[in-house]
Structure 1
Amino acid sequence: MRHSDLEAFLAVARAGSFRVAARERGVTGSAMSQTIRALEESLEVRLFNRTTRSVVLTEAGDLLMKRLSPALAEIRSSIEEVRSMKGQPTGRVRVNAPAPALDWLIVPHMVRFLDTYPGITLEIIEDAKDVDIVAEGYDVGIRLGLEMAQDMVAVPLGPEQDYAVVGSPTFVDRYGIPRSPQHLREFDCTRIRFPSGTIFAWRFRDGDQEITFTPEGRLTVNNARHAVAAAIGGAGLARVALPYAQEALTDGRLVRLLSDFSPRLPAWHLYYPSRRHKPPALEAFLDFFSKAGREMES
């Protein structure tokens, strides 16, 4: 039983597809299917239930994935640690993060990180869903301060988040200014839908009272940049992370509303599984981007 066969099994388990896993590993779908079939014959147990439309783990396959994923991660970490003894950290870092965290905290520093650590390979996946980063094969995730699993180590990344309700001057002249979060129910709002299917809720604070408002409106998008563009065009009000709207607020294409009711939200955090020894590549990633985040706060 080869190490590469076990890695292939995990790739199929994560992707739920032989074709997607084969593309990820740079082999043909038939070769991937043959590898898994040989692994099943070696173990004398079926690992996947296959239909024409889906590939689903069996009970045995699910058990193997849960035990194998952290074990192989430790093996990779040990190998990378030995390789890094020559001086520079080496290895791969897979990152799972929502678009706002990537846009403002990771992407601006990405090239500098790669230049600083030529032995590290970086894979960044934009994703706003709740994910088990261990089961999905990620080394590190980024989420808001209250959204991490309890068994993870979390490191602050950047300042607290400021979300702004914005609209165009033309829209405000035509429909007026909302006086309170409750008053928003009388306004057309651009909604943002998460990959999970839920609508992004607008949260406010009025004194000691917390208000959660699910907006209504004719336009729903899944990207904050599109919501800003709609607001600039006068399609309605939008609520987005402040950096997305800052340029348009500065040049007057947008105005900010209800700022007295908008509390700061928890900062983004890098989080990763608790291990005795972190892989050198992950250690370098955490140190580099934590420092970049602190520079933003100063």
Structure 2
Amino acid sequence: MKLDFALLNAIVAVANAGGFREAARITGSNPSRLSDAVRRAEQQLGVRLFNRTTRTVALTEAGKMLIERLQPVMSEVDAALDAINRYRTTPSGTLRLNVPVSATRLVLPAIVPDFLARYPDIRLEIIAESNVLDIFRDSCDAGIRYDECLEQDMVALPIGPRRQRFAAAASAAYLQQHGCPEHPRDLVHHNCIRGRYASGVMAEWEFSGEAEPFRVQVNGSLVVSIGGAMDLAVQSAIAGSGVVYLFEEWLRPSLENGALIPILEPWWLSFNGPYLYYNSRRLIPAPLQAFIDFVRTMGQATDI
């Protein structure tokens, strides 16, 4: 029995994603099209591959057996097609990167436009998250991470500024009304604009000390989600709502135009810049290799 290759792709995509909506998001398709493809595959095979409810989509025993046999075959097909891709003058395909939200503002804007201009046949997809998760989730090829998030047996390629700092600031109006803290511990008496990760964890404020970094438990009337709402935190600080503590580069425009006044600068925490992070033991697809080669001009790769 022969089955259209596109139908096989749909089965694998839905099985890996655990549902039609997620598979559609990952593959750039739509749920109804994938559902129709799976239905047609089941009709042609004469067996049910998925048990469907209003909330879940799960493989049947027949579906599990088929996926176990299909996965290595589909991986080999992808590898073969990618090998052919290397003979092209210009690489093509999709490159998916999992990055922290800060990278979309502080790192990628200086890289992405020139990269896309250099490789017009590559489609770049950026998955930005406030939580640090597995970079290979959602079928991502690589990610951007900081030192503390790197794992063994990975390759870390410097990308973006090599040293960064957190900066504390407030508006002149706020400081005139509430006074200027002289030491980070004075922040416990100030209205601080805090950030919360998607996991629910509240970000701590960490400062540079004489021996080692130290943390300050701050409080305030405004809490924003880290990532999507950080611009609100900056604008609220400019309006006099409290003290903000964020990447220095993120605050730089407001510091330079005087909208925010830097405070506690001797204690600003400095840390290593981010890395492009990928598994060298996997077959590196042509779009990722092109991106690696492009980024290498900015630094030297380091094996972790």
TM normalised by structure 2 equals 0.81
- Residue of structure 2 aligned with 1:268, choices 271, 274, 278: 274
Partner amino acid, structure 1, of 2:151? A
User: 1:198: which partner in 2?
Assistant: 201
User: 1:19: which partner in 2?
Assistant: 21
User: 1:160: which partner in 2?
Assistant: 163
Q: Distance in 1 between matches of 2:185 and 2:46?
A: 60
1:81 aligns with 2:83: yes
Q: Distance in 2 between matches of 1:13 and 1:278?
A: 23
Partner amino acid, structure 2, of 1:183? D
Q: Distance in 1 between matches of 2:272 and 2:72?
A: 29
Partner-residue secondary structure (3-state), 2:117: helix
* Structure 1 residue 39, shift from structure 2 partner: 6.3
User: 2:150: which partner in 1?
Assistant: 148
- Residue of structure 1 aligned with 2:130, choices 108, 128, 131: 128
Greater shift in the superposed pair: 233-242 or 13-22: 13-22
User: 1:208: which partner in 2?
Assistant: 211
Deviations along 1:108-140, one digit per CA (max 9) or x if unpaired, are: 332221111122111112222233233420111
Structure 1 residues 292 and 83, CA gap change in structure 2 (3 angstroms): same
Deviations along 1:227-284, one digit per CA (max 9) or x if unpaired, are: 1111111000011111111111112111111221222122111111223642221111
Structure 1 contact 171–236 (Cα < 8 Å) conserved: yes
Structure 1 contact 181–211 (Cα < 8 Å) conserved: no
Partner-residue secondary structure (3-state), 2:86: helix
1:241 aligns with 2:247: yes
Partner-residue secondary structure (3-state), 2:164: coil
Structure 1 residues 69 and 194, CA gap change in structure 2 (3 angstroms): farther
Partner amino acid, structure 1, of 2:196? R
Q: Distance in 2 between matches of 1:191 and 1:34?
A: 46
* Structure 1 residue 100, shift from structure 2 partner: 1.4
Structure 2 contact 47–62 (Cα < 8 Å) conserved: no
Question: How many percent identity over aligned positions?
Answer: 34
For structure 1, the residue ranges without an aligned partner over 5 or more in a row are none
User: 2:140: which partner in 1?
Assistant: 138
Structure 1 residues 24 and 268, CA gap change in structure 2 (3 angstroms): closer
Partner-residue secondary structure (3-state), 2:275: strand
1:111 aligns with 2:117: no
For structure 2, the residue ranges without an aligned partner over 5 or more in a row are none
Alignment of 1:272-291 (within 5 A): 272-275=278-281, 277-291=283-297
Q: Distance in 1 between matches of 2:109 and 2:187?
A: 34
Alpha carbon RMSD of aligned pairs, Å?
3.3
User: 2:190: which partner in 1?
Assistant: 187
Structure 1 residues 27 and 83, CA gap change in structure 2 (3 angstroms): closer
Partner amino acid, structure 2, of 1:253? A
Partner amino acid, structure 2, of 1:210? P
User: 1:170: which partner in 2?
Assistant: 173
Q: Distance in 2 between matches of 1:78 and 1:240?
A: 45
Q: Distance in 2 between matches of 1:175 and 1:142?
A: 39
* Structure 1 residue 214, shift from structure 2 partner: 4.1
Structure 1 residues 96 and 135, CA gap change in structure 2 (3 angstroms): closer
Q: Distance in 1 between matches of 2:126 and 2:98?
A: 6
Partner amino acid, structure 1, of 2:152? Q
Partner amino acid, structure 2, of 1:237? V
Q: Distance in 1 between matches of 2:203 and 2:212?
A: 20
User: 1:100: which partner in 2?
Assistant: 102
Structure 1 residues 206 and 38, CA gap change in structure 2 (3 angstroms): same
* Structure 1 residue 71, shift from structure 2 partner: 7.3
TM normalised by structure 1 equals 0.83
Q: Distance in 2 between matches of 1:237 and 1:215?
A: 10
* Structure 1 residue 289, shift from structure 2 partner: 2.8
